[in-house]
């Protein structure tokens, strides 16, 4: 009966919260991964453009223009999965709290650690969501408990980063990804040359524009590959780290591993 009482109390306060956060973070992870892969698909269109430009045929130039139009349309398309990030993050902010732990000094420390981790994760994810979506409203502005020693530091970081991101988008940037912005600038330079034609005195400029597009396209592809790996690694750390904190918290209140595993399985089946 004592174990049952401890487990029930612990489930209600910690395990259900942890599982709920894990599911929401998984949804965000899938949204980020989906968007990065979608952006990476545009590399094929750019490769097609560069292949067409190897010939100086006017017909090939028009085909390259068509591919650039397709690239612009692809990049400008909104990803429905990414659009779900803001309400998920908003719900995580609304659930931010620092529950009280009685008769356990270790439990109090771990609860504070989990609170701090949740604050950091939610804010970092909001910056990612804004950068990938090109939408400043995806940035979150929220406060944390002023009694925490790192509260003022978090406020300063949040204010500085949000200000810079909003300033960037207010200047007409459609993305927070530097490499994607560089490719877009090359496309804007090259497109009118292909569409309207160019004189002999513009030949060198044209070749330089093609070279710039090739270089920035490769940098974008490599950058997206690295970003995809980084996102996967980050969420793996979040997942394993959160579970480790949960196990430590379980130890602090005396819940056996067997009961923890059983409860996790029950929640997963639901």
pLDDT on residue 14 = 64
Do residues 143 and 96 lie in contact, with contact meaning Cβ atoms separated by under 8 Å? no
- 55-66: per-residue pLDDT in tens? 777 788 888 999
Helix 257-269 crosses helix 16-52 at what angle (to 10 degrees)? 60
The alpha carbon of 18 is separated from its chain's Cα centroid by a whole number of angstroms, namely 20
pLDDT given at position 33: 93
C-alpha–C-alpha distance, residues 138 and 128, integer Å: 9
Contacts of 8 (CB under 8 A, 6+ apart): none
pLDDT of residue 104: 65
Distance CA 84, CA 95 (A): 17
> Cα–Cα distance between 232 and 161 in angstroms, integer?
23
Q: Could you read off the pLDDT of 86-112 as tens digits, one per residue?
A: 999 999 998 888 767 666 676 677 778
- Does the predicted TM-score (pTM) go above 0.75? yes
Please tell me the predicted confidence (pLDDT) of residue 180.
Answer: 94
DSSP 174: S
| Closest to 13 (Cα-Cα) out of 117, 107, 105 | 107
Report, as ranges of residue numbers, the positions in the chain whose pLDDT lies below 50: 1-8, 11, 199-201, 255-270
Sequence spans of domains, the chain: 2-269
């Amino acid at each position: 009966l004592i174990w049952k009482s401890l487990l029930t109390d612990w489930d209600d306060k910690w395990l259900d919260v942890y599982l709920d956060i894990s599911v929401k973070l998984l949804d965000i992870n899938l949204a980020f991964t989906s968007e990065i892969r979608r952006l990476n698909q545009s590399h094929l269109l750019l490769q097609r453009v560069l292949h067409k430009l190897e010939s100086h045929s006017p017909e090939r130039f028009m085909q390259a223009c068509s591919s650039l139009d397709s690239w612009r349309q692809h990049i400008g398309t909104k990803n429905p999965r990414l659009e779900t990030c803001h309400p998920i993050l908003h719900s995580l902010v609304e659930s931010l709290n620092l529950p009280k732990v009685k008769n356990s000094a270790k439990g109090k420390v771990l609860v504070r650690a989990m609170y701090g981790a949740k604050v950091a994760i939610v804010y970092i994810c909001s910056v990612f969501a804004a950068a990938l979506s090109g939408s400043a409203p995806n940035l979150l502005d929220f406060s944390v408990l002023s009694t925490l020693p790192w509260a003022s530091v978090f406020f300063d970081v949040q204010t500085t980063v949000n200000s810079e991101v909003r300033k960037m988008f207010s200047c007409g940037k459609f993305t927070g990804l530097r490499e994607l912005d560089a490719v877009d600038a090359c496309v804007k330079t090259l497109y009118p040359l292909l569409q309207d034609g160019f004189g002999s005195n513009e030949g060198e400029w044209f070749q330089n524009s093609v070279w710039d597009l090739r270089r920035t396209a490769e940098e974008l592809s490599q950058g997206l590959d690295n970003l995809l790996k980084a996102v996967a690694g980050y969420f793996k750390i979040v997942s394993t780290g959160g579970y480790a904190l949960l196990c430590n918290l379980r130890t602090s209140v005396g819940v056996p591993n067997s009961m923890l595993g059983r409860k996790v399985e029950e929640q997963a089946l639901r």
